[in-house]
Every structure is written in C-alpha cells, then in structure tokens.
Amino acid sequence: MASKIWLTLDLVETVFYLCAYEFTIRGVNSPWCRLLDDADGQVMEYSGDLKQFWKRGFGHDINSKASCILFHDLFKRLDTAANQIKSGGRVSEVVMVQVGHAETLLPLLTLLDLFKDDVPLNSSNFASHRGRAFRTGVIVPYAANLLMTLFDCPDGLRLQARLNERPLTLPGLDDLSPLYQDVRKRYKQLLQGCDQDTVCMMDSSKN
C-alpha cells in the first residue's frame, strides 16, 4: 500500500542538504540526490541566496552597516602599514588574520558593494536572476576567505583583494591591483565614519 508524505519546504531542504553535504564532505553521490534534478537544485540554491540576501546582503541597509566597525578595523590596519612603508620604517604588523563565519564575511562584502545585482532578489523573480551576481555558494563557500594585500610598487602602494584565493575587482576600480589611495577614495564615504547610532535607529522594515 502506498503511503503519502506531504512534502514541505523543510523536507525538501533536508533532502537537498543531505545530498549536498554528502557530496561535498564525503565525495559521495548520495541516493538523496536522486530525488532532485538540476532545476530543483537551482531553486534550492536560489532559496538559500534569498535568505542570505535579506538577512546578510543588500536586502536591508542595516545588514551591511553592522559591518562598518570591521571595515574600519581593516582600513586602520592597512593605513598603519601604508604609513610605515611610506616612511621607510618597519611594518609592525606584517600579517593579521581574523577568523569568522560566512555570516560575518557576507555583510562585509556587501558593504564593499560587491556582487550587487541591479534588481533585488525576491520570491517572484527567480527566472530573471539566473545570471545573478549574488550567488552565495560561490561567494562564501566552505572556508571562504578574503585577503587584502598591500604591494609597494614603483608608482605607489597598491592593494590587491582576493576572495577565495581569486583576484577580485573592487567595484568602480577596474584594476586588479589599484593604487591604495584610489581604493580609499572609492570608499571615502564609509571611511568618514560608521555612525552606529544612526544605524541602530534604522527601521529595517523600510530599508
């Protein structure tokens, strides 16, 4: 006798993650994967992207504004190193490593204006977002990492950003290793301050 199971989003999501985890962690083509075809996988991917878009991405302004302090910390360290290099002194902090979750990295990347689509992602425009930039499986996969490196070049200090080991073009800067002063110019407004009081007063239902 056949029994009926009502499929819910939770159940489908569980099947998708069982398939995905077994594949990525154990390299196994799990039987769970056979319950889904490519189109199902794309819809599940979009549903994950929707969640991150509204919770950590461009969906609400406050998502990325919360990373402003981290952003300032990063540029403060780069500024210190830049000044030490320029004055011919010793660089006191050659490498700095900060470890966190994708949920911290994603708002920072969003604050940097990276992976921004012209039209916001929502539940009814999946079809028009097949070629979207905001693809969290690519932006923040397992062990996602953002690397910012200063280079002392003949024409000045240059900054190279790498995301997941790949060179990254910062929006508005077409060079893969732009002059550090141009990067600072690009993010001038953010560098002027975080204004956390205003951020905390933001009404997320309106932004």
207 binds ligand NAG (CB under 6 A): no
124 binds ligand NAG (CB under 6 A): yes
Residue number of the CB atom closest to ligand NAG: 122
Scanning 3-11, 15-23, 116-124, 173-181 for contacts with ligand NAG by CB under 6 A, the matching segment is 116-124
Give CA–CA dist 1/201, Å, rounded. 59
92 binds ligand NAG (CB under 6 A): no
Among 5, 25, 99, 119, binds ligand NAG (CB under 6 A): 119
We find the least distance from the C-beta atom of residue 121 to ligand NAG, in angstroms, to be 8
Interacting residues with ligand NAG (CB under 6 A): 119, 122-125
